[in-house]
């Protein structure tokens, strides 16, 4: 497939987001790609090594030209800094559009939070009369309220109006699930032909186990429940920690929660662990490069995915679900909606309602007591579901075709 795509995304390499691999996939398939993005500081709000408020402003990534725009760093993940981060990058990125070389056939936004991230893409596409496709990863303004407790009615009304307006201005939208596709059609008046349901794939390396002797020596002999990814209020990890302690008190003495990642909730979770005297029941390992995640999934007895009980989070299927299933390990899901349905349909894990501490603790006890052969069978069914639904090559082709041809 031939074509030239402008990718607009605040978060990009060396930050750990799937858009990095999507860009690599586009290039592997013969497309020409430029990326307009921010300066890497997610999730801690600290500049990555080699970056600062002074740039660099232009780089290359596997052959793609990368154009960076300023942003206010989300240092400390305070409400004020997150708000300033959300509004600063779209403004700076819009001011940087003149630096782009042009000649694009389409504009594509990988739209995590905030929704304002797509505004520079809207402006560029309209000025140059080319189609703009927005991949909606976080539904706004609903996702905003899972991170920032906005209670003011006027502010909420403005956020709703701005979000709806930006979604309507996209020529095409991509949803990660059928329920989200339906919601976007309802909110924008677009037809299902204009709103594609394309789940997030996972990179092929997640399906290849990596044994790591050092990790096995450190965490061996325990029943490792592994979570990988960003820690925010949306994951309800405080409830998870309490459920793990409940299960340990009820007989799962070797149960160990291994949290691999970082994010705005990490410090509060560590404080909660100290308050609850969690001791060796939980380990905060910190962030690792994406390609090292298979070392931790190989170590896992089960993989944890959780979301809060916000109705709108139930519309989404977190990207980590695909990588968990690719690892071929049982999935423990504490969530509602589309994600829960996918785990249940796969037969590759145990599900409980979002934020139901007792139900999660019961599932942990059940899995802990389960014979190893039965757990292995759960993992095999998860892997088969990944192979049928989340393979990279097929989903990349669907993305490319929809972005460039609308089909």
264-297 pLDDT tens trace? 889 999 999 999 999 999 999 999 998 999 999 9
Residue 245 in contact with residue 269, Cβ under 8 Å?
A: no
As for how many domains the chain has, the answer is 2
Please check whether residues 93 and 170 belong to one and the same domain: yes
pLDDT of residue 318: 86
Please check whether residues 159 and 209 belong to one and the same domain: no
pTM for this predicted structure: 0.83
pLDDT of residue 2: 80
In tens, the pLDDT along 12-52 reads: 999 989 999 999 999 999 999 999 999 999 988 999 999 99
Residue 69 in contact with residue 96, Cβ under 8 Å?
A: yes
pLDDT of residue 310: 80
No. of H helices and E strands in the chain?
15, 14
DSSP conformational letter for 71: -
Mean pLDDT of 3-20: 95
Measured in degrees and rounded to the nearest 5, phi and psi for residue 197 equal -100, 105
Please check whether residues 68 and 82 belong to one and the same domain: yes
Q: How far is 272 from 236, CA to CA, in rounded Å?
A: 13
Mean pLDDT of 305-327: 88
More confident residue, 223 or 202: 223
Sequence-distant (6+) residues with CB within 8 A of 49 are none
Q: Which of 4-13, 231-240, 305-314, 377-386 has the lowest mean pLDDT?
A: 305-314
**Structural element, H or E, at residue 162:** helix 153-169
Mean pLDDT of 226-236: 91
Q: How far is 370 from 372, CA to CA, in rounded Å?
A: 6
Confidence of residue 312 (pLDDT cuts 50, 70, 90): confident
Pair of tokens at residue 340: 């829960």
- Residue whose pair of structure tokens reads 């390396």 in the numeric block: 205
Task: For residue 89, say if its preceding peptide bond is cis, omega within 30 degrees of 0.
Answer: no
Please check whether residues 398 and 378 belong to one and the same domain: no
Pair of tokens at residue 119: 């505004």
Q: How far is 35 from 60, CA to CA, in rounded Å?
A: 9
Would you say residue 149 has pLDDT above 80?
A: no
Among candidates 207, 316, 209, 293, which has minimal Cα distance to 16?
Answer: 293
Task: For residue 232, say if its preceding peptide bond is cis, omega within 30 degrees of 0.
Answer: no
Measured in degrees and rounded to the nearest 5, phi and psi for residue 350 equal -115, 135
As a whole number, the mean pLDDT across the chain is 93
In tens, the pLDDT along 80-118 reads: 898 899 999 999 999 999 999 999 999 999 998 888 999
Residue 320 in contact with residue 228, Cβ under 8 Å?
A: yes
Query: At 285, which CATH number?
Result: 3.40.50.2000
Confidence of residue 190 (pLDDT cuts 50, 70, 90): very high
Would you say residue 125 has pLDDT above 80?
A: yes
Would you say residue 153 has pLDDT above 80?
A: no
Q: Which of 44-58, 148-162, 250-264, 305-319 has the lowest mean pLDDT?
A: 148-162
pLDDT of residue 364: 98
Please check whether residues 211 and 357 belong to one and the same domain: yes
pLDDT of residue 144: 67
Q: How far is 128 from 93, CA to CA, in rounded Å?
A: 16
Pair of tokens at residue 304: 């944890």
Measured in degrees and rounded to the nearest 5, phi and psi for residue 119 equal -60, -45
Please check whether residues 70 and 216 belong to one and the same domain: no
For the chain, the C-alpha Rg in angstroms (whole number) is 21
Q: How far is 19 from 6, CA to CA, in rounded Å?
A: 12
Q: Which of 309-318, 360-369, 393-402 has the lowest mean pLDDT?
A: 309-318
Q: With H, G, I as helix, E, B as strand and everything else as coil, classify residue 227.
A: strand
Among candidates 230, 203, 186, which has minimal Cα distance to 77?
Answer: 230
Please check whether residues 142 and 228 belong to one and the same domain: no
Please check whether residues 385 and 395 belong to one and the same domain: no
**Structural element, H or E, at residue 228:** strand 223-228
Q: With H, G, I as helix, E, B as strand and everything else as coil, classify residue 304.
A: strand
In the chain, % of residues over pLDDT 70: 97
Q: How far is 360 from 35, CA to CA, in rounded Å?
A: 41
Please check whether residues 77 and 92 belong to one and the same domain: yes
Show the domain range for 59: 4-201+391-405
Please check whether residues 305 and 339 belong to one and the same domain: yes
Q: How far is 375 from 381, CA to CA, in rounded Å?
A: 10
Q: Which of 47-51, 218-222, 232-236, 394-398 has the lowest mean pLDDT?
A: 232-236
Distances (CA, A) of 40 to 16, 85, 177, 351, 380: 10, 12, 28, 35, 37
Q: How do beta strands 4-8 and 58-61 pair? A: unpaired
Mean pLDDT of 326-341: 94
Provide the strand spans (E) within 163-222: 172-175, 195-197
Please check whether residues 196 and 331 belong to one and the same domain: no
Q: How far is 111 from 176, CA to CA, in rounded Å?
A: 12
Please check whether residues 176 and 209 belong to one and the same domain: no
């Amino acid at each position: 497939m031939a074509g030239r795509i402008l990718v607009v995304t605040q978060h990009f390499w060396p930050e750990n987001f799937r858009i990095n691999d999507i860009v690599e996939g586009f290039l592997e398939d013969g497309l020409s790609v430029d990326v307009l993005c921010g300066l890497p500081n997610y999730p801690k709000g600290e500049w990555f090594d080699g970056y600062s408020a002074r740039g660099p402003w232009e780089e290359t990534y596997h052959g793609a030209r990368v154009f960076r725009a300023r942003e206010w760093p989300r240092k400390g993940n305070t409400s004020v800094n997150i708000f300033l981060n959300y509004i600063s990058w779209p403004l700076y990125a819009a001011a940087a559009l003149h630096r782009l070389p042009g000649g694009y056939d389409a504009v594509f936004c990988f739209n995590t939070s905030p929704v304002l991230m797509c505004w520079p893409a809207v402006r560029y596409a309209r000025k140059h009369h080319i189609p703009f496709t927005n991949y909606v990863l976080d539904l706004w303004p609903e996702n905003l309220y899972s991170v920032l407790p906005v209670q003011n009615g006027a502010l909420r009304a403005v956020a709703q109006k701005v979000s709806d307006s930006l979604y309507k201005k996209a020529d095409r939208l991509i949803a990660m699930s059928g329920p989200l596709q339906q919601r976007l059609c309802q909110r924008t008046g677009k037809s299902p032909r204009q709103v594609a349901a394309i789940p997030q794939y996972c990179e092929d390396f997640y399906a290849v186990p990596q044994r790591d002797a050092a990790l096995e020596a450190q965490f061996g002999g325990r029943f490792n429940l592994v979570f990988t990814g960003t820690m925010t209020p949306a994951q309800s990890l405080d409830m998870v920690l309490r459920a793990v302690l409940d299960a340990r008190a009820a007989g799962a003495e070797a149960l160990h929660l291994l949290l691999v990642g970082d994010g705005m909730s990490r410090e509060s979770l560590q404080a909660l662990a100290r308050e609850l005297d969690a001791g060796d029941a939980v380990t905060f390992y910190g962030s690792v490069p994406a390609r090292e995640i298979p070392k931790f999934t190989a170590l896992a007895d089960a993989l944890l995915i959780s979301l809060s009980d916000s109705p709108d989070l139930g519309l989404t299927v977190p990207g980590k679900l695909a990588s968990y299933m690719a690892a071929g390990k049982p999935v423990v899901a504490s969530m509602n909606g589309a994600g829960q349905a996918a785990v249940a349909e796969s037969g590759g894990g145990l599900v409980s309602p979002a934020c139901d501490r007792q139900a999660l603790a019961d599932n942990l006890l059940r899995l802990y007591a389960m014979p190893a052969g039965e757990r292995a069978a759960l993992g095999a069914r998860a892997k088969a579901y990944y192979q049928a639904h989340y393979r990279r090559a097929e989903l990349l082709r669907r993305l490319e075709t929809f972005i460039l041809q609308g089909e």
